[in-house]
C-alpha cells in the first residue's frame, strides 16, 4: 500500500499538502501556562522525564508576546521551508488548556489574528479539559467565534481556522503512568480523546517509546488501544534521558529497567508499530530531538528528524511493508 507522496505510511505533512494544497508549518508558542503536575494540583516537580526547556525553540519564550513569538518563528522557518505560505500556531509548552475558558479563548483568538496563521494546535494533558473548554474549542473550529475570519490556503478560501487538540498520553499502561508521576490514568486519556473527537475536533496523541518497565511486547500490544481511540494523528518519540530530571537518577540506578535502541533497532521497531496501526491514522512524528546540551549522551549522534524519516522510508522499502499491513490480523 502506498500513501500520499508515495510513502508507505500515512504522513501528516502529506495530509496537509493533499487537503489544503500547501505545506503548513507549526510555530511553537509559549503562552505562559503551567501544569497541574507542577503547581500542586495533582503533583509537584512534573513528570519524571520532563524538562520543558528541552522541547521548544529559542524564539518561543513567555517573556515575548504571542505576536512576537509568531513573527520570529515564521522568520526562523522561512529559511528552512521557503515554499511554506501559512503556519499553525502551536501552543506547546506545558498544559495549554490549564486556565479559565475566558483566558483560553482570548489567547487562541489572539494567535488566529496573525495574517499568516491558518489555525492552531493545542497541546495539553487529558486531565486539563472539560465540556466547557471543548465546546469553546469546537466553536473556534466551526467559525462561530471567528466571524469574518478567512485565509486563502493553497488557492482555496478557508472560512474557519484549522484546530487540533493534541494530548500527551505517553503510555497506555496505568502502572507506567504512575511510575513516571503522570498524575492521571489511561482511562482519563480515553475519555478526553472521545469527548474531543465527538465534537468534530481533530484529535492527536503523543506516546513515548522506552519508558521504564515497558517491554517491546507491551509497546506492540498497546497499538490495539491506540487503534481503538478516535484519534486523527499520533506522534511517537524515543525516550531521551534529560539532564537534571528525576528520570536521569532513576536510569542511573536501574538502567536495566529501560529499553534502549540503536538507531537501526529503533527504525525497525517503529516499523513493527506502524504495521499494526490503523492505516487511516496520520503519523506526525516517529522520533524526537533534544538539543545536546540537555542530555549526557547522544547515542544516535546528531541525526536530525528529516534524516530519520529518510532512513525510515528506505527501511520500509527494504522490508517491503507499510502502515496497517498487520492491522486486520492484530484486531
pLDDT, one tens digit per residue, over 229-248 is 999 999 999 999 888 899 99
Whether 85 has a pLDDT exceeding 90, the answer reads no
Q: Residue 104 is inside which H or E element, if any?
A: helix 101-112
pLDDT of 296 reads 74
CB 149 within 8 Å of CB 117: no
The better pLDDT of the pair 213, 23 is held by 213
Whether 51 has a pLDDT exceeding 90, the answer reads no
Q: Which fold has domain 4-330?
A: TIM Barrel (3.20.20)
The better pLDDT of the pair 77, 72 is held by 72
* Most distant CA pair in the chain, distance: 58
Eight-state DSSP code of residue 215: -
Binned at pLDDT 50, 70 and 90, residue 77 comes out as confident
Nearest to 112 by CA among 121, 102, 100, 99: 121
The better pLDDT of the pair 274, 38 is held by 274
Q: What's the distance, CA 313 to chain centroid?
A: 20
Whole-model pTM: value is 0.94
Whether 254 has a pLDDT exceeding 60, the answer reads yes
pLDDT of 84 reads 78
Nearest to 228 by CA among 200, 187, 262: 187
Backbone angles phi, psi at 86, to 5 degrees: -140, 160
Mean pLDDT of 301-327: 92
Location of C-alpha cell 534502549: 260
Location of C-alpha cell 494523528: 233
CB 193 within 8 Å of CB 131: no
Mean pLDDT of 311-321: 96
Eight-state DSSP code of residue 125: -
Distance CA 79, CA 170 (A): 32
Distance CA 157, CA 124 (A): 29
The better pLDDT of the pair 233, 24 is held by 233
Whether 54 has a pLDDT exceeding 60, the answer reads no
Location of C-alpha cell 508558542: 29
Sorted by sequence, the CB contacts under 8 Å of residue 58 that are 6+ apart come out as none
Q: What's the distance, CA 38 to chain centroid?
A: 20
Binned at pLDDT 50, 70 and 90, residue 222 comes out as very high
C-alpha cell recorded at residue 172: 497506555
Mean pLDDT of 36-61: 80
pLDDT of 14 reads 82
Mean pLDDT of 303-317: 92
Supply the DSSP string of 176-209, one letter for each residue. HHHHTT-SS-HHHHHHHHHHHHTTT-EEEEEEEE
Distance CA 197, CA 189 (A): 12
Mean pLDDT of 70-77: 89
Q: How far apart are the first and last CA of the chain?
A: 19
Distance CA 179, CA 177 (A): 5
C-alpha cell recorded at residue 253: 540506578
Mean pLDDT of 69-88: 84
Whether 55 has a pLDDT exceeding 70, the answer reads no
In the chain, what percentage of residues exceed pLDDT 90?
Answer: 72
Query: Picking from 78-92, 117-131, 274-288, which range would have the lowest pLDDT averaged per residue?
Result: 78-92
The better pLDDT of the pair 62, 186 is held by 186
Binned at pLDDT 50, 70 and 90, residue 59 comes out as confident
Domain range list for the chain: 4-330
Decide the pairing of beta strands 233-238 and 282-285: parallel
pLDDT of 56 reads 66
Amino acid at each position: 500500500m502506498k500513501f500520499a507522496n508515495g510513502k508507505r505510511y500515512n504522513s501528516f505533512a502529506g495530509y496537509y499538502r493533499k487537503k489544503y494544497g500547501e505545506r503548513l508549518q507549526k510555530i511553537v508558542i509559549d503562552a505562559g501556562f503551567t501544569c497541574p503536575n507542577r503547581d500542586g494540583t495533582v503533583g509537584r516537580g512534573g513528570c519524571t522525564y520532563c524538562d520543558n526547556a528541552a522541547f521548544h525553540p529559542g524564539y518561543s519564550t513567555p517573556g515575548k508576546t504571542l505576536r512576537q513569538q509568531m513573527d520570529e518563528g515564521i522568520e526562523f522557518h522561512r529559511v528552512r521551508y521557503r515554499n511554506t505560505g501559512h503556519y499553525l500556531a502551536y501552543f506547546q509548552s506545558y498544559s495549554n488548556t490549564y486556565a479559565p475558558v475566558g483566558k483560553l479563548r482570548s489567547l487562541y483568538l489572539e494567535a488566529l489574528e496573525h495574517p499568516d496563521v491558518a489555525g492552531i494546535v493545542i497541546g495539553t494533558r487529558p486531565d486539563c479539559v472539560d465540556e466547557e473548554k471543548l465546546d469553546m474549542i469546537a466553536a473556534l473550529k466551526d467559525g462561530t467565534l471567528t466571524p469574518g475570519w478567512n485565509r486563502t490556503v493553497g488557492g482555496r478560501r478557508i472560512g474557519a481556522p484549522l484546530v487540533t487538540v493534541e494530548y500527551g498520553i505517553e503510555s497506555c499502561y496505568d502502572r507506567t503512568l504512575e511510575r513516571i508521576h503522570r498524575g492521571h490514568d489511561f482511562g482519563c486519556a480515553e475519555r478526553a480523546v472521545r469527548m474531543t473527537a465527538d465534537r468534530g475536533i481533530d484529535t492527536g496523541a503523543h506516546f513515548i517509546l522506552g519508558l521504564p518497565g515497558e517491554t517491546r511486547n507491551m509497546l506492540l500490544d498497546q497499538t490495539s488501544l491506540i487503534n481503538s481511540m478516535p484519534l486523527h494523528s499520533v506522534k511517537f518519540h524515543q525516550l531521551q534521558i534529560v539532564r537534571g530530571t528525576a528520570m536521569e537518577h532513576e536510569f542511573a540506578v536501574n538502567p536495566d529497567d529501560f529499553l534502549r535502541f540503536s538507531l537501526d533497532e529503533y527504525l525497525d521497531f517503529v516499523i513493527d508499530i506502524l504495521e499494526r496501526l490503523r492505516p487511516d491514522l496520520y503519523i506526525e512524528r516517529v522520533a524526537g530531538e533534544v538539543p545536546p546540551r540537555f542530555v549526557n549522551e547522544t547515542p544516535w549522534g546528531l541525526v536530525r528528524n528529516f534524516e530519520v524519516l529518510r532512513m525510515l522510508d528506505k527501511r520500509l522499502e527494504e522490508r517491503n511493508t507499510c502502515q496497517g499491513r498487520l492491522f486486520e490480523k492484530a484486531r
